[in-house]
Amino acid sequence: MSAEGANRYWRALEERGAATAAEGPDEFAARREGIDLFLSRRGFLKAAGFGAAGALLASCARAPVQEAIPFLSAPEEIVPGHALYYASTCAGCSAACGMLVKSRDGRPIKLEGNAEHPLSRGALCAAGQASILGLYDSHRLRSPLHRGQRASWEEVDRAVGERIATISKNGGAVRFLSSTITGPTIRAEIDRFLGSFADGRHVVYDPLSCSAILDAHERTHGARVLPRYLFDRAEVIASFDADFLGTWIAPVEFAAAWRAGRDLEAKPPRFSYHVQIEPLLSVTGSKADRRIRIAPRELGPALSHLAGLLAKKAGLTFSSPPPADPELSAALATLADRLWQARRRSLVVCGSQDVATQVACNFANEILQNYGNTLDVERPSYQKQGNDRALQELLSEISAGKVAALFIAAANPVSELPGGENIAAALDKLPLVVSFASHRDETADHAHFVCPDHHPLESWSDAEPVAGIISVTQPVIRPLGQTRSLVETLSTWRGRPTPAYEIFQASWRSRIFARQSQETSFQRFWDRAVHDGVAAVEPARFSPRPFDVSAVKPAAPAKAGAAEGLSLVLYAKVAMLAGQHAENPWLQELPDPISKVAWDNYACLAPATAAALGVAEGDVVRLDFGAGSLELPAYVQPGQHDGVVAVALGYGRKGTARFAGIGPRWLDAEPSVGRDGLVGVDASGALELTDGVLRYVREGVRIAKTGRTRPLACTQTHHTITVPDMFAANGSVRRPVVQETTYAAWQGNPAAGREGEEAESEDLWPDDHPYNGHRWAMAIDLTACTGCSACVVACQVENNIPVVGRDEVRRHREMHWLRIDRYYSGSQAEVDVVYEPMLCQQCENAPCETVCPVLATVHSEEGLNEQVYNRCVGTRYCANNCPYKTRRFNWFNYPHQDPFANLVLNPDVAVRSRGVMEKCSFCVQRIQQAKIEAKQAGQPVADGAIQPACQQTCPAGAIVFGDLNDRSSRVAAAVANPRRFRVLEEMNVRPSVNYLRVVRNRDETDGEKSHG
């Protein structure tokens, strides 16, 4: 079992095909070119010795004078060195998660979830964590622009005012184009502004559109509503290409809810059954209990057929032909059974942009009586309000020259929509185009006036993500430039200039205060809302009309072989979404959870397709779709449907030209940008806005090799920790680094899936270091971990981890202290995925501690493996010895180049220079802080008082940290859990990081079948 077990998991296709893992990918092949030194070894040592002596003499200089400059009149709450937390709302996407902003010395340095927020429950996603860097962005516009030149607000107000007056007099059409704005105040201000024109309209679109869901509900329920999906109430979840754990609508809320429905430690245990039917391997698909690959054009017919099966069970006369594939047909029949058994407690979701398919999805939920139980349209979500039909009409109005004035906020249509060049050309012909963008983005370049809005951290704002829950955004820093709040600008142009704060107060007084009855004093209500960050008020209830069954039409499956070429699917990556974060280096460097590629987008091909075409990873391919073509490197993606090629949106953005020089500048350095000077390739030209819907799938795409190559910065084979056969001792038990089991097996035996013996072997070290005080440990639940990588970015923000650039990532030198290892199992076509966050395991018998020549890494009395940066001389023996490969070396003075961006650095953590080793410290700065505060209060440290950055942000709550010596702590309970295992336990390093086995909701037999 052990030999087979060792090869059961694989990370890259090269490993899968290798006879033994020892013949796996040769990590050093690319770097084996000879290095030509002009200096011999001896000469170098002589020069170094002389240099060292000289440096020693030269260093005996006086230390620089340090000044301490206190306030003249100190605000009461500011204590230097003490952080203040303000409640606000994340603006990373339209989901509007609640967050706390950690502010030091009057500037925000970290974003954390707001545990009291009913939707996000204390978590933030990767994009949300990284969004703080946007505040300290030196490329952000500091003042308004007039025709690309900096201008003053007076000039701009005057010029815009004149043009508005003319347009108003002539009755010209005024359009306001934006992405989803959920805040009632901002929406009201926009409406008020447009109300002063005879023909004013607000058009909303989402670059990741859910317009089809809204349209479908209009047909079936009478109005364009987006339901609020309650995954925690669902026992059976069927998702047709809806990536709800990754990028669909509100992934943080959905991940928390999904996790709550899969709680094995609850009494009694709850475990939902999740089926994902999708063309690409998405984060959600990788966590599903059953995953079925499907071609995009068969998704609609399959869902329709499922609806037909459910209708039959309910005694309705509706049927839809079955799919041609008998396996899929059988799977749908089983799924229908399970859904029917769990009616009122099931949920069918669909991410398609085909309205008929979404209508079928509504129908399925209606038959299952899920409306009002697991999805709610009476208290709907406002997180996606885009209307693609209105957008299409607006674009044709613009190209026909019928729009007199266009205002664009929180949107970049030239870059996000297909036909960007045509849109740009049409914008150039309009009399007045005003953009509220904060950067000189592709759309702002074609605006007459750019009136930059504040960064969300500088603004007053509000958001109503779900009916009745209003999130407040408060500024935590004075505006860093001469930007102006959108509502203030609109009020100025309306003739009544009002500061944003007054607008919000007035709006809350008139609109929102009236919607609640608990508080009678407005001032108290406002103070409380600003303090909490969220207010619960009476929702504007929507009364749906009875379900209109006539709107549902059966869908015939496409004839087999009817389509030529591949289906091109455009998708959003977890970090990039539709490109709004393209200028964030943290998100560019974040390895994608599925592909583990950073700094690029690529054409994903299924292994069979790639083999048939003779395409390997890195081969630049050309995708020809009717309206254009794309050239980008290929990537072989196991688990993808064979007839699909997938490309991520959000790349090729103009602003990414700033990354040309990112990373260390040295002899062999290569730029992080592609041939055209940008990161990745802009795929938005392949989108289609037809028939009132923004479409992300194109059929009949031809693919051809170009002969060029562009090696990708793929981290999936970096830091492999599986023990190759040739290094293993004879007869030793080598356990797989991830362990999993099925729900059926777990119910029979909670320790099911354990590989090998649990007993600790003998130790040569004497047991003379007892842990008398605290004993820090961590437990990570692999069943809950969705691989979303929010923890990776949170760690980067908290610990001042540098960005190294694409070339360094290719050299395995990415600096993330916490990485998510993604393991596949199964065949190349039908894969199972396990995510394993890997960080310094804080081993008791740490192999790194014994080999450090200067004792820069030692073990603390509380179980931490400490890394002392000032003592480290950079031998790198510790990283060599680490079996988990979690140590990171500063090969260069990774520049914190941009002094403005340095304002985000955490003052509680040292910034490491070249030659120093670093690694996860369990956020020791947070541990210290909590211990000192507890000491001052005379109390013991409470369980949960210390939350490392990774734990704090995890939407699924997969990470638990605490004191093992506290027997009532959560981590002690996790360690006692029979699902617990430790990675590479056989090496007897005694790690302090424990993992809880993956449990999949499968029957035993199913489990066998899927590992082909």
Partner 1 sequence: MLTPKLTAIRLPGIQRGYEPEQPIRFSHRLHAGEMQISCQYCHSGAERSRHAGIPAASVCMNCHRFVTAPLGAVRAEDELAAKENRPPRRVIAPELRKLYDALGLDDDLRRDPAKPQRPIAWVKVHNLPDFAYFDHRPHVAAGVACQTCHGPVETMERMRQVADLTMGWCVNCHRDANRTGIAGHPVYASIDCAVCHY
Residues that bind partner 1 (CB under 8 A): 59-60, 63, 65-74, 79-82, 773, 858, 860-862, 864, 866, 868-871, 908-911, 921, 924-925, 928, 932-933, 935-936
Using the minimum distance from each CB to partner 1, give the nearer residue, 294 or 923. Answer: 923
Using the minimum distance from each CB to partner 1, give the nearer residue, 82 or 665. Answer: 82
Three-state DSSP at 927 gives helix
Alpha carbons 329 and 321: distance in angstroms, whole number: 10
Count of CB atoms within 10 A of residue 502's CB?
Answer: 13
Q: At closest approach, how far in Å is the CB of 62 from partner 1?
A: 9
Q: At closest approach, how far in Å is the CB of 963 from partner 1?
A: 15
**H or E stretch covering 330:** helix 326-341
Using the minimum distance from each CB to partner 1, give the nearer residue, 176 or 922. Answer: 922
Alpha carbons 849 and 727: distance in angstroms, whole number: 22
Using the minimum distance from each CB to partner 1, give the nearer residue, 60 or 726. Answer: 60
Using the minimum distance from each CB to partner 1, give the nearer residue, 260 or 797. Answer: 797
Using the minimum distance from each CB to partner 1, give the nearer residue, 315 or 853. Answer: 853
Using the minimum distance from each CB to partner 1, give the nearer residue, 43 or 773. Answer: 773
Supply 888's token pair.
């990171």
Using the minimum distance from each CB to partner 1, give the nearer residue, 74 or 612. Answer: 74
Using the minimum distance from each CB to partner 1, give the nearer residue, 500 or 909. Answer: 909
Alpha carbons 587 and 133: distance in angstroms, whole number: 10
Supply 333's token pair.
């029949």
**H or E stretch covering 113:** strand 107-113
Using the minimum distance from each CB to partner 1, give the nearer residue, 863 or 1007. Answer: 863
In contact, 141 and 439? CB cutoff 8 Å = yes
Residues in the chain: 1012
Using the minimum distance from each CB to partner 1, give the nearer residue, 63 or 562. Answer: 63
In contact, 763 and 845? CB cutoff 8 Å = yes
Three-state DSSP at 320 gives coil
Three-state DSSP at 367 gives helix
Q: At closest approach, how far in Å is the CB of 415 from partner 1?
A: 41
Quick one: 268 exposed, middle or buried, by C-beta within 10 A (0-12, 13-18, 19+)? Answer: exposed
Using the minimum distance from each CB to partner 1, give the nearer residue, 543 or 772. Answer: 772
Alpha carbons 867 and 880: distance in angstroms, whole number: 15
Question: Rounded to 10 degrees, what is the CA torsion of 493, 498, 501, 505?
Answer: -100
Q: At closest approach, how far in Å is the CB of 974 from partner 1?
A: 23
Q: Which of 182, 78, 91 is nearest to 132 (CA)?
A: 91
Three-state DSSP at 813 gives coil
Using the minimum distance from each CB to partner 1, give the nearer residue, 71 or 727. Answer: 71
Q: At closest approach, how far in Å is the CB of 999 from partner 1?
A: 35
Q: Where are the alpha helices (DSSP H) in 822-892?
A: 847-851, 877-881
Supply 375's token pair.
């999805």
Q: 643-667 in b/e burial notation, b at 16+ Cβ within 10 A?
A: bbbbbbbbbbbbbbebbeebbbeee
Using the minimum distance from each CB to partner 1, give the nearer residue, 37 or 68. Answer: 68
Q: At closest approach, how far in Å is the CB of 964 from partner 1?
A: 17
Q: At closest approach, how far in Å is the CB of 45 from partner 1?
A: 25
Using the minimum distance from each CB to partner 1, give the nearer residue, 150 or 871. Answer: 871
Q: At closest approach, how far in Å is the CB of 842 from partner 1?
A: 11
Amino acid at 517: S
The DSSP bridge partners found for residue 146 are 149, 449
Q: 90-125 in b/e burial notation, b at 16+ Cβ within 10 A?
A: bbbbbbbbbbbbbbbeebbbbbbbbeebebbbbbbb
Q: At closest approach, how far in Å is the CB of 775 from partner 1?
A: 13
Q: At closest approach, how far in Å is the CB of 777 from partner 1?
A: 16
Using the minimum distance from each CB to partner 1, give the nearer residue, 76 or 327. Answer: 76
Q: Are strands 644-648 and 993-996 parallel, antiparallel or unpaired?
A: unpaired
Q: At closest approach, how far in Å is the CB of 939 from partner 1?
A: 12
Supply 934's token pair.
């507890």
In contact, 573 and 648? CB cutoff 8 Å = yes
Q: At closest approach, how far in Å is the CB of 816 from partner 1?
A: 18
Alpha carbons 679 and 582: distance in angstroms, whole number: 9
The DSSP bridge partners found for residue 867 are 857
Using the minimum distance from each CB to partner 1, give the nearer residue, 47 or 79. Answer: 79
Residue with tokens 């004078």: 65
Q: At closest approach, how far in Å is the CB of 909 from partner 1?
A: 7
In contact, 272 and 1001? CB cutoff 8 Å = yes
Please measure the distance between the N-terminal and C-terminal CA atoms of the chain and give it in whole angstroms.
16
Q: At closest approach, how far in Å is the CB of 163 from partner 1?
A: 39
Sequence-distant (6+) residues with CB within 8 A of 479 are 454, 455, 458
Q: Which of 97, 147, 102 is nearest to 126 (CA)?
A: 97
Q: 414-431 in b/e burial notation, b at 16+ Cβ within 10 A?
A: bbbbbbbeebbebbeebe
**H or E stretch covering 267:** none
Q: At closest approach, how far in Å is the CB of 72 from partner 1?
A: 5
Q: At closest approach, how far in Å is the CB of 840 from partner 1?
A: 13
Q: At closest approach, how far in Å is the CB of 772 from partner 1?
A: 10
